Chain A
Amino acid sequence: MTDIHGEGTALRGATATVAPLLSVRDMTVVTRGSQVPIVSDFNLDIAPGETVGIVGESGCGKTTAVLGMLGLLDPRQLAISGSARYGDTDLIAAPDTVRRQIWGRDVGIIYQDALRALNPVMTVGQQIAEVFEAHGGRPDAKEEVVNLLARVGIASPEVRQHSYPHELSGGMRQRVMAAIAVAMRPRLLVADEPTTALDVTIQAQVLELIRGLVAEMNMATVLISHDLGVIAGMCDRVVVLYAGRIVEQGDAAAVFEAPRHPYTRALLRATPGYVGKVAGRFNFIPGTPPAPSAARVGCAFRERCSEATDACTARTPELVEIGAGIEVACFHPIDPARTEDRGPAKGSARAGSGVVTVIERGPAQPTEEPQATPILEARNVTRVYGRRSWLRRSAAVALAVDGVTLTVRAGECVGLVGESGSGKSTLGRLLVGMEDPTSGEIVFDGRPVSRMSGAERRAFRRSAQMIYQDPRSSLNRSYSVGSILRTALRAGGADSSDVDAQVADVLERVGLSARYAERYPMSLSGGECQRVAIARALCVRPKVLVADEAISSLDVSVQGQILNLLADIQRDTGIGIVFIAHDLGVVRELCDTAAVMYLGRIVEQGPAKDVLSVPQHPYSMALKSAAPIPDPRRERSRRRIILLGDPPSALAPPKGCAFHTRCPVGPLNHPDRTACIDDRPDLRSPDGAGHAVACHYVGSDANTALLGQVT
């Protein structure tokens, strides 16, 4: 504790003596016309060389605040008041001719969506050179472009500079954007969710790159992220935004150690990887952030806050310093001394009853007999896309799923983990019968699906329901929630006399009131949509539920609700769940068994706690290492496994072990390990128990040493 506060004050001292690089005062952004405030009373000083993290749920005004202080918002849509002083210039008020000198030269920006931020009709080299042209040009621009591309880790930059953005992978595009942002060696780097669209191993690469660039060029950095884990690993100071207002700011280590604002605490507890949560239960914040409104008075968080009193409704709390350089906008800041005994609030899922609603209960228990009969099995299934046809001679053939065997038992939750392109979603579609395997067999209730009649097949499809990633797209916007559920109930053969009662019943099971039956999907939040989608699946009394990235498009604050709901459903109904995710932490908490997939194959499989806590395959270790931890001390001190490059294409998977081209303990670093290149390792169990690994060198010294980095 003390040393952390020591660091904090030292940092504040530095901030106080050196004039800030950028000083934002009383910035307020409102929409033109309706005067809806998007950002209110935003004050921020950024010291030279300092890294500031801006965090909050989606729609809290993070991006608007940062673009606003750089003067980059569209004045036709948004009216900005206040000032943002950069040297002698007010970036909000200065004319464009002056600001253009600063944009790109003194301030570099990395955007979230590189594919849209880069110009599709220009090569990446041209786009980097463009920055030089905009700022007076330089004679050695050509060489500098190549140097920059090399610096951001693009292999063979002389060739790659002639590539167009669509020819590069997502990670490489983000590297190119970083090159553009730092081309003029700016004094301030702004990164707006730079890794949100990327896979975890690529995220780790890009964050490592940004970290290196910042250290090398001594830039001040503003990092916008919804992920407290990313902020923890990168930032000196953290600013928490809620409904367009700063609710807490201060030294990152101190804020993470002892958050003072109830929102910060709740958000931190909801973040995957947060340690100290009650086992088997996921934390979340009830309700949703309020819609911005000019008429609103009082603390915007009060409806979701456990500490709220009448004062929170009457007045809007000001941001005040409450010691150790921490500022909080709350009438009832959490006393760090009392945090321990207060503990997580206990209560039900009623909105407003508790910030973090935790229901005490043991970890998800497998049913009475742990080896229950398998309901759904994939037996050595393979799925090939783009089969060679006589019309197209050279059609590419991709092996999306390659010889996978997986068993789902009643009352068991199976986690499927892997990055995009690993084949986990394809496997999910095969399991519910949405697609047929190219070879191998899906077996439901002991009977192969391929030998079922049409009616049997439809019955099978009802028994294996899927929850989709995009909750909005999974509900038909033409129908009310009630009519969506009635259709599903009828499909499940429900008695039509009391359908309305059954609709109310199934809504209640997913934690929604019967009034929701009249609502239309467009008027629901993402989390509510996902609940309705789960309710629809339950209508047909399935035996297996396949949740394909069912929480990844939701805010962290609501993810926990959906996870708890899935765990409850499993406990109450004893159905099997296949939970497809890229987040290892969530799978470890939720699932009984887990399988890690890489390029269409399962590389490691076994009890979830074993596979994800002490992984044996180098790829699983890398995945675990890549997941950020929302704890600055641990996040900064730990050694990470950074994999090289992108996953190979499924069109041309490497021979032998598919992972050997990126494996940190493979032939890259251990030339003697030729077996990885020549032989494809099979899943086998080193200890004879349930934990199986597809690696030739399981348990070798090098592998064990690698594991030591992770645990």
Chain B
Amino acid sequence: MWNRMRLVGPRLARVLRKSSWTNRIASLVLLLTLVAAAVPDLIAPFDPVKAVPVDRMLGIGVDGHLLGTDAIGRDIFSRLVYGSRAVWTVALAVSAGSLLLGSLLGATSGYIGGAFDAVVSRAIDGVLAFPPVLLGLVLAAIAGPGTWTAIAALAVVFTPLTTRVMRASVLAERGAAYVHASAGLGHRPIVTLVREVLPNTIGPMIVVTTLIASRAIIVEASLSFLGVGTQPPQPSWGLMAAEAQQYIFIAPGQVLIPVLTLAAVVLSLNFIGDAMAEVLDPESRSVRVNTR
């Protein structure tokens, strides 16, 4: 498994090098927003929460405000840069949470099967019935609004997706002869599951995790828009769109900028997820000698 992970870096680079321009642009978008999220203070020229009423509603490029200012005079570019931190926190935390939880549930229920599988599967069906936004609202009502409330809600809501994909992948591999062979070497079931079965589920899991990351970004924006996600004055792209919507006819850019950025990141995640799956899929391993 680690042996394999070691190969991922160079392979990813190779895939990107020969891949389409969409994948290159997508990786650029993700890289820029990730850097912004990591070191926003190095990039943002202004304090994102400091209101300067004199400078409100400035146009693009005026007085050093790259993307202008909003209704209370905050620099939109700086808010966008700091907002990427909220976006990436949510994306990474939610996908990591649902990946861990879902892998655990899916792998065990798929491998063990029987009654345990039946119980897990029905419970998952139950969770799946909740609309993400609704669950976010309910949790916010209980635990109070905030970024981590949104993350917890979303991690729970998206766990059924990872669980199901993991369970299906494990079921598909479980009957393979190499799994029997591993048991035949005297390995315990847990060793067989972790060492033999799980590496072959990475491809689909990467795809579903990136899908979850992008959906989490969208739903977090919705929750912030509705007022239960990131709390003002902290910047978040959904919040920015929400605050700017009343000026949509005066300054449409203030709505469009965060929304289009959001769309670009979501789209890029999907492209890169597909590329990653291709890299990690053993079937597409490069040293392929056709012997037929």
Contacts and interface: CB of A to CB of B under 8 A. Distances in A.
Contact of A491 (B3, B186, B289): B186
Contact of B200 (A478, A483, A519): A478
Given A487-B195, A523-B287, A466 B282 contact: no
Contact of A476 (B183, B184, B196, B292): B196
Given A288-B292, A522-B288, A478 B183 contact: no
A209 to B, nearest CB: 32
A557 to B, nearest CB: 12
Interface residues of B, number: 28
Interface string B252-292: 00000000000000000000000000000011010111111
Interface in A514-561: 519-520, 522-525, 528, 533, 536-537, 540
Contact of B282 (A59, A478, A487): A478
Contact of B291 (A288, A478, A491, A492): A288
A405 interface: no
Given A288-B292, A461-B186, A466-B184, A476 B283 contact: no
Interface in B167-213: 176-178, 180-188, 195-196, 199-200
Contacts of A474: 176-178, 181
A263 to B, nearest CB: 16
A432 B292 CA distance: 33
A488 B192 CA distance: 12
A11 to B, nearest CB: 34
A314 to B, nearest CB: 24
Contact of B292 (A291, A434, A478, A537): A291
Given A462-B185, A491-B186, A476 B287 contact: no
Contact of B199 (A461, A478, A533): A478
A466 to B, nearest CB: 6
Contacts of B182: 476
Contacts of A459: 186
Given A473-B177, A476-B178, A483-B3, A465 B291 contact: no
A318 interface: no
A458 interface: yes
B199 A520 contact: no
Contacts of A469: 177
Contacts of B287: 519-520, 523
A477 B184 CA distance: 18
Query: Interface majority SS on A: helix, strand, loop or mixed?
Result: loop
Contacts of A434: 180, 183-184
B185 A488 contact: yes
Contact of B285 (A458, A461, A522, A525): A522
A492 B181 CA distance: 13
Interface in A450-494: 458-459, 461-462, 464-466, 468-470, 473-480, 483, 487-488, 491-492
A533 B177 CA distance: 10
Chain A interface size, under 10 / 10 to 19 / 20 to 34 / 35 or more: 35 or more
A289 B283 CA distance: 22
Interface in A495-529: 519-520, 522-525, 528
Contacts of A523: 285, 287-289, 291
Contacts of B292: 58-59, 288-289, 291, 525
A462 B285 contact: no
Contacts of B283: 477, 522
Contacts of B196: 476
B117 to A, nearest CB: 15
Given A470-B177, A525-B291, A462 B1 contact: no
B4 interface: yes
Nearest to B175: A473
Contact of A458 (B176, B186, B288, B289): B186
Nearest to A243: B292
A225 to B, nearest CB: 18
A465 B181 CA distance: 8
A476 B199 contact: yes
Contacts of A476: 178, 182, 196, 199-200
Given A459-B186, A476-B199, 12 more contacts: A58-B292, A288-B292, A291-B290, A434-B180, A434-B183, A458-B186, A462-B186, A473-B177, A474-B176, A477-B282, A520-B285, A522-B288
21 contacts: A58-B292, A432-B184, A434-B183, A434-B184, A462-B186, A464-B184, A465-B184, A474-B177, A474-B181, A476-B196, A478-B1, A478-B282, A479-B3, A479-B4, A488-B185, A519-B287, A520-B287, A523-B288, A523-B291, A525-B292, A540-B185
Q: Ordered nearest first, which 4 A-B pairs have the shortest CB separation?
A: A458-B186, A474-B177, A468-B177, A478-B199
